[in-house]
Amino acid sequence: MSRKRKNIIRLGVLLICLAFIIGGLLREEHLMVLQKAANICLECIGVG
């Protein structure tokens, strides 16, 4: 596989990853993950 083709594939994968990250941020999924992580931590130490 040529170097140019590999770079095109890498750029495509990078753009797809960025699209998924932006989509998750727009849906505010990072807040849900943080809330679930806090709940798990509180359960582990026996507070919640």
> Rounded distance, CA 25 to CA 20, Å?
9
Which pLDDT does position 41 carry in this prediction?
85
Q: What is the pLDDT of residue 14?
A: 98
Whole-number pLDDT of residue 48: 57
CA 35/CA 48 separation, integer angstroms:
13
On the question of pLDDT at 46 being above 80, the answer is no
Residue with more model confidence, 37 or 47 = 37
Chain segment 17-45, per-residue pLDDT in tens: 999 999 999 999 999 999 999 888 888 88
Is 47's pLDDT higher than 90?
A: no
- What pTM value is reported for the model? 0.66
What is the domain partition of the chain in residue ranges? Answer: 3-44
